[in-house]
Structure 1
Amino acid sequence: MEKNKTGKYLKYAIGEIVLVVIGILIALQINTWNQNKQDSKQEKQILSQLIKEYESNLQQINEKIYLRNETLNSCFKLLEYRKSDFKEIQVDSVDNHLFRISIRPTFDPELSVSNELINSGKLYILQNEELRNYISAYSSFLSELSEEEQVILELTENRLIPFLIENYQVGRMMMVLLDDKELRAKITMGKIKDYETMKNLVESADFTKMLQHPDFEDYLLQLISYTSYTNEQSAGVRDKTKNIIDLIKVEIAK
């Protein structure tokens, strides 16, 4: 201060501060750039996992809709049989339709990747806000469908199947699964194994008592009602699944 050098040192100090600030800003920018690069790489990996997850879900939901349509067709056919000449009805046909109405298809989605993103708080890595919203809300889309599936499950297991056991010989109808490869492929998991038919080992049963029973008609009509509504719910889930897949494909293509 005695030599009037205060201004010089003040300028020097300000210059040092400016250099430090610039250095910090550059470091932050580099760190942000590296983080964005890392997030972008991670996002691509996550998107590739998500597309597999939701394409698998789409395939499964389509198979469940197919199986329920099989159930509906069999319900209507059995209602027709009630008004037909029983002598013209083949027991194999009755068994085929009975087996199809006893199927209880349920949608069990694969959500491991989605749940990991949500639970870990990493959903932000996905840049597309619409995609984030769809994924976070997807589980809630399934709640009503699950409830309707449970209604069918309870009707079939608690009322329909006990009725069939009491009024029909169900062993032969269960052999349908072994003979129908296409149906078995949509019901069973894993590799399909070939079986020799075993229905000839089980004697044919008289279906007239069952078809004429008034409770059977009630079960069929209830099943038609529940299954139709459940398929409507499934169609809604299918549309949402397709939307997610389309959004993922857009992000992958960028």
Structure 2
Amino acid sequence: MIKFFRKIRQKMLAENKFGKYLTYAIGEIVLVVIGILIALQINNWNQERLNKKQEHQILSQLLKEYTSNLKQINQKIEIRKEMLNSCFRLLQYQNEKPESIDQDSLDAFLFRITIRPTFDPELSVSNELINSGKLYLIENTDLRNNVSSYSSFLSELNEEELAIFDLTEKQLIPFLRENYQIGRMMMVLLDDKELRAKITMGEVNNYDTMKNLVQKSDYKNLLSHPDFEDYLLQLISYTAYTNDQSTGVKEKTTTIIDLIRTELKK
């Protein structure tokens, strides 16, 4: 093809047809430019197709990631609700006659208030997108911004979870150990399959029941201790506020999931 055009140009020059040659040269340049533009457009189409395919794969992975995170945050919210209920029941026990209190229930409530649930999201896909600079492959700006800001959005929740952890680990559990036999309340947990599942503890099949391995202890001093009420009220305050923060994280997680599903339907 190049040789063909070259021969035409040479013939025109030989015949001294400069005007026609100039017109032809301009036409040839236009054809070359058009060819380049077509090639670029085809390349853009191919790249856009590849980007769309990659975006779809990324969105599918993100959907699994944030669906898992939503399930986890819901579990942590429910556990904290059980903690709050246990705190209120223990406060009520202070005004009840000792002989009317079921110690198995008491031990179950005591264990629940010592649980220290934390939200530990799976963010491997999100972090990889951010660190590799591939977040741009997500065309939806709202979704892109929500994914990029998700980790920083968790900071306040993490702080509140840490406050509960410190209160429980450094003050409440030592207090219970000093004023009560906490071994039995641990055994009550091992009998509670539903609760073990929520806090991802494995099965214990060595015994039909675990609570009978530990002797019952007197709980009267514990319930009448003034510090016990203070710990319960402080834990209620911390836990309620932490669940408020968790609800915000749940809403943001749900928003991301909805945006992903909308993009996948396109």
TM-score tier, shorter chain, comes to: over 0.9
Matched, 1:134 2:154: no
Alignment of 1:83-232 (within 5 A): 83-188=95-200, 192-195=202-205, 196=207, 197-232=209-244
Within 1, Cα distance between the matches of 2:84 and 2:242? 11
Displacement of 1:193 in angstroms is 2.4
For the pair shown, the structure with the greater C-alpha radius of gyration is 2
Residue in 1 aligned with 2:40?
A: 28
Residue in 2 aligned with 1:11?
A: 23
Displacement of 1:133 in angstroms is 1.1
Deviation digits for residues 119-163 of structure 1 (CA, Å, limit 9, x no counterpart):
111111112111111111111211100000000000000000000
SS in 1 for 2:154: helix
Within 2, Cα distance between the matches of 1:119 and 1:23? 38
Displacement of 1:2 in angstroms is 9.5
Deviation digits for residues 49-100 of structure 1 (CA, Å, limit 9, x no counterpart):
1111111000000000000000000000000011111111121111000000
SS in 2 for 1:175: helix
Q: Which stretches of structure 1, 4 residues or longer, exceed 6 Å deviation after superposition? A: none
Displacement of 1:249 in angstroms is 0.8
Aligned partner (choices 90, 93, 107) of residue 81 of structure 1: 93
Within 2, Cα distance between the matches of 1:221 and 1:110? 32
Displacement of 1:42 in angstroms is 0.7
Displacement of 1:4 in angstroms is 4.1
Contact 2:114 2:168 in 1 (8 A): yes
Displacement of 1:177 in angstroms is 2.3
Provide the TM-score with structure 2 as the length reference: 0.91
The RMSD of aligned alpha carbons is: 1.4
Within 2, Cα distance between the matches of 1:248 and 1:3? 67
Aligned partner (choices 225, 233, 238) of residue 245 of structure 2: 233
Displacement of 1:3 in angstroms is 6.2
Contact 2:188 2:210 in 1 (8 A): no
**Which consecutive unaligned segments of at least 5 residues does structure 2 have?**
1-12
Displacement of 1:200 in angstroms is 0.4
Within 2, Cα distance between the matches of 1:188 and 1:208? 32
Displacement of 1:11 in angstroms is 2.2
Deviation digits for residues 143-189 of structure 1 (CA, Å, limit 9, x no counterpart):
10000000000000000000011111111101122111111111016
**Which consecutive unaligned segments of at least 5 residues does structure 1 have?**
none
